[in-house]
Structure 1
């Protein structure tokens, strides 16, 4: 698995996941329950992961939808 996206914005991960799943790309979210450690303040970023074989296509799809991947 490769990191596609890292963000503290709670709206970007579900949006990106929906777009990618619509294109047939499986995603997995890391650090979902880390808010327990930061007191639900949202200061710890969550990561969206994809299979290595899908990374290039997933980045292109997110770029086309104006979702920054940071890479």
Structure 2
């Protein structure tokens, strides 16, 4: 599904919210990566990724925003 995430401004207008979209997409990619690592049996890599979750999510969110890949 393609959707544009929007936020309401104080004057009741709407605008796109790419930061929220990047946060959601980064989280979805993180969950997919953790699942992939568990399914492949690479438990240590999954643990390492979980331990660095906040850093990974923030880095990926910034990459998505910089590349303009979210809307």
TM-score by length of 2: 0.28
Q: Give the number of the structure whose residues are more often strand, by fraction.
A: 1
Which protein, 1 or 2, shows the higher relative CO under an 8 Å CA cutoff with sep ≥ 6? 1
The structure with the greater share of residues assigned to helix is: 2
Higher-Rg member (1/2): 2
When the two structures are superposed, what TM-score results if normalisation uses the length of structure 1? 0.28
